[in-house]
Amino acid sequence: MEKVAISASDLTKIYGERAALSHGNFVVPEGSICGFVGPNGSGKTTTIRMLLGLIAPSGGTATVLGESISHPEKYLPRVGAMIEGPAFYPALSGRENLKVLAELGGFPLSRVDQLLAKVDLADRGGSKFKTYSLGMKQRLGIAAALLPNPKLLILDEPTNGLDPSGIQEVRGIIRDLADSGTTVFVSSHILSELEMICEYLVMLREGKVIFSGRTQELLSGQKPIIVAKPEYDVDLTNLAKKLTDSGFNLSISDGSLHIEAAQEASATINRMAFEAGITLASISVVLPTLEETFFEMTGDSK
């Protein structure tokens, strides 16, 4: 049986009449990279805060690294976290900010400079936090989360404000940590990023867990799309009518037909086009991306 880093059972948080999280059940296997996705206000940050002992659940239970969330002191020394963006003292330098947290957690101060180098802030460590760009602030937040050399790393939107190379660096850091056995629980709005690195996913919608499991399991459960592109654009509507009349569900986008059908239907579609005197420039089968799956499952519109 797989060991779990995080396990939530009926975890619930109610604010007044509104359930920020309702009976959340999910597990995050140890050593995995698990994405945490959901539209704004779906309960992601509330869940993360409950896991870190910052807010008390209204119901249900959860364990982190085998310990109940009612005793955060038992597991937090092994947990690194960045919640809702980096929050530091503006008048202190990046280095001093990390030293405050290192002293508080009882970690060696020598780790501070190592981590500043790791997140590419070594030469700006002495500058005041308030002078940092958003990307630098984000990188300092990641460095702070890495202070305890964590067994579990919880990151809330770690790539916010980062440029493409910064995003790639964060992805590299996350992969390195996972390779060394650290469990990473990461929320992000950049779903293509999560799709690239996450083996597991927890998906929320309106305070409810709508999926928890392997990313592959989620994506393979979705209907594939056959993308057919006629040689001439004038044939697009003609072919679309023929396929619709034959019972296919489709949409037209970027000069191509996007047909919801199993891979085996490709031959039928190709034949129907040929019989109608339409030459297809290309025909391919694509699985929906995580982003498309997310929008379909959450009912959110792009």
Partner 1 sequence: MIRVVIAELRKLRRPTLLLGTIATVGGLSALFTSIIFLMIDSENGNSERGERVGPEELSQAMGLVYGFRLVGVFLGIVSLCIFASQTAQEYSLGTLRNLLVRQPSRMKILAGKFISMKIFALVMVLFAGALSILISFALAGRANVDTSAWTTSAAMELLFKSTLNIFIATLCFGTFGMILGLVLRSPISAIAVGVLWNLILENILAALIKSTGKWLPGTNFSNLGEGGNPDLTYRHSLAVSLGYLIIGGAISAVLFKRRDVAN
Residues that bind partner 1 (CB under 8 A): 49, 52-56, 72-73, 76, 79, 81, 83-85, 87-92, 96, 99-101, 103-106, 144, 147-148
The answer to whether 257 touches 249, Cβ cutoff 8 Å, is no
Shortest Cβ 103–partner 1 spacing (Å) = 4
CB of 156 to partner 1, least distance (A): 10
Q: Closest distance between partner 1 and the C-beta of residue 136, in Å?
A: 17
CB nearer to partner 1: give 44 or 99. 99
Minimal CA–CA distance to 284: which of 255, 302, 259? 259
CB-wise, 28 or 51, nearer to partner 1?
51
User: Which lies closer to partner 1 via its Cβ, residue 39 or residue 77?
Assistant: 77
Neighbours of 121 (CB within 10 A): 23
CB of 21 to partner 1, least distance (A): 13
End-to-end CA, the chain: 39
For partner 1, give the closer residue by CB, 52 or 190.
Answer: 52
| Residue whose CB is less far from partner 1, 100 or 210 | 100
Measured from the CB atom, is 10 or 84 closer to partner 1? 84
Nearest CA among 171, 168, 111 for reference residue 143: 111
Is residue 62 within 8 Å of 4, Cβ to Cβ?
Answer: no
E-assigned strands of the chain? 4-15, 18-29, 33-37, 59-64, 67-68, 79-82, 152-156, 183-187, 200-205, 208-214, 225-230, 249-253, 256-260, 280-286
Q: Is 36 helix (H, G, I), strand (E, B) or coil?
A: strand
Q: How far apart are CA 302 and CA 200, in angstroms?
A: 23
The answer to whether 213 and 60 have CB atoms below 8 angstroms apart is no
- Shortest Cβ distance from residue 139 to partner 1 (Å)? 15
Q: Enter the tokens of residue 33.
A: 């990279």
